[in-house]
Structure 1
């Protein structure tokens, strides 16, 4: 009997339609669609749909996809203007209105009508929250990889761990998404030889959170940067990871493995452990 070829995954077009950037709807769609691992989704973001003319073009695009593929696209929307929303909904897409789904129950619970203002998610470029975010990003960029050690007193958290374990992307995500001033500092072989934390970090022990990683994965990551080097060798990676984890345990530093975690998951873990991220609107 001949082996049967594996079935091709189901494929579906997904459109993210918004009167703003569409980032909010895109983030939500990723979370929802990740539950359907047997389906291959082709996602496209269509931002700044803020006129009836643009809405008509989107509706035509949706109908064209339906005709070409024989299946209607899945449409995630954060459109606020009711006329624009109604025009897009005249199309053949499977429509998921995120604002309509959540705003109406909240209006009923609060006894207050929402403003139905376009672009409210990203308004307030002069607001305190926006300024805090910009300050956090600048701080984090300036305190990446231990390159600037002054003003660590201003840090909300200082991530420590071996080189290439995920400190920089986690720091930037915390700054950009939550206005958290996140510095990061590498633990290097010289620190392990001294058997102590870098002196720069000792006054801020209460702000430290450690990141670790599986040595095999670390070797893969380092080989992409410095192929066939001692730095990237599995033996070196095993040594550094073991020493870093030993140091963090000895110093009483909470730590988390990044090996199989997304930046969002790592950041959430850091925020919970360090009690960060409360936001008021």
Structure 2
């Protein structure tokens, strides 16, 4: 059975994410709860637990962790099969089950029985949706860092900001997870001297969203890429950040600082501000 460990120097408890599929949903479920506690967890993902024999093996690993730690592990499960889930409940862990907790109530409210299909949350049942995500990724790669203006009106969002403020990873995250076509443009000293946005952007103003960053953090990031250069100097970073933020304010562009935010937080803010319609399941 595949096993993924998240390394760390010291742990207080062990957390298992158990699934009959990839384990992504179980891990997301567990992380949402664990993030509320200031405790360091050893994290173990146990995917593809889709038989009694695999469940017994998973239970054995959970029991070993309990004996080693002297504390029972926390187990976050998205197992669908009742027999497999019953085996898992015999393990010496604190079991948190997503499916039995929420599905019965939904069945009652909707007036229908669930399909109890294994791995349904991440199957590519909708070919159109899958193709849309691939197309979005290709679009975002082609329009990274202002590489192309072709098809720019087809963009869902156009990110602007100084170099190395997080535009590219945010673009790809939105493309991969939401199927959105994202372009991004760097704001450079020539734009500041001119006092205007790049000429192709004002026509797409309603799609623009700005990213900024603290000069100190930008200096650190750039210095890792080009150490000792003018591009990475703290003076250059301060000038570019100040000018970019002033330009975005003048142009009425919504923006946020990425300094202390995760990509997920940045993406959620963009989705809220731009209000892009997402397709339903």
Identify unmatched segments of 5+ residues in structure 2.
1-8
After the TM superposition, which residues 1-281 of structure 1 pair with which residues of structure 2 at under 5 Å, given as runs?
Answer: 11-37=12-38, 39-281=39-281
TM-score (norm 2): 0.93
Cα deviation for residue 244 of structure 1 reads 0.6
Q: 2: distance between equivalents of 1:45 and 1:272?
A: 31
In 1, distance between residues paired with 2:211 and 2:29? 27
Shift of 1:202: 2.5
Deviations 1:189-225 (A, max 9, x none): 1111111111122321221100011111111111111
Deviations 1:20-55 (A, max 9, x none): 111111122222111111x11011111111111111
Q: In structure 2, what is the equivalent of residue 3 of structure 1?
A: none
TM-score, normalised on structure 1? Answer: 0.93
Deviation at 1:10, TM superposition (A): 6.2
2:223–2:229 CA contact under 8 A, matched in 1: yes
CA contact (8 A) 2:209 2:255 kept: yes
In 2, the alpha carbon distance for the partners of 1:21 and 1:9 equals 26
The 3 A distance-change label for structure 1 pair 125 and 113 is closer
Moved more, 44-53 or 157-166: 44-53
Q: Which residue of 2 aligns with 1:5?
A: none
Number of equivalent positions: 273
Structure 1 residues 9 and 48: alpha-carbon distance in aligned structure 2, compared to 1, 3 A threshold? closer
RMSD value over aligned CA atoms?
1.5
2:231 and 2:50 mapped to 1: Cα distance? 52
Instruction: Mark the runs of 5 or more structure 1 residues left unpaired by the alignment.
Output: 1-7
Where 2:165 maps in the other structure, the secondary structure is coil
- Preserved CA contact (<8 Å) 1:124 1:130: yes
TM-fit CA distance, 1:127: 2.4
- Cα contact 2:11–2:42 (8 A) shared by 1: no
Partners of 2:79 and 2:85 within 8 A in 1: yes
2:212 & 2:145 partners in 1: Cα distance? 15
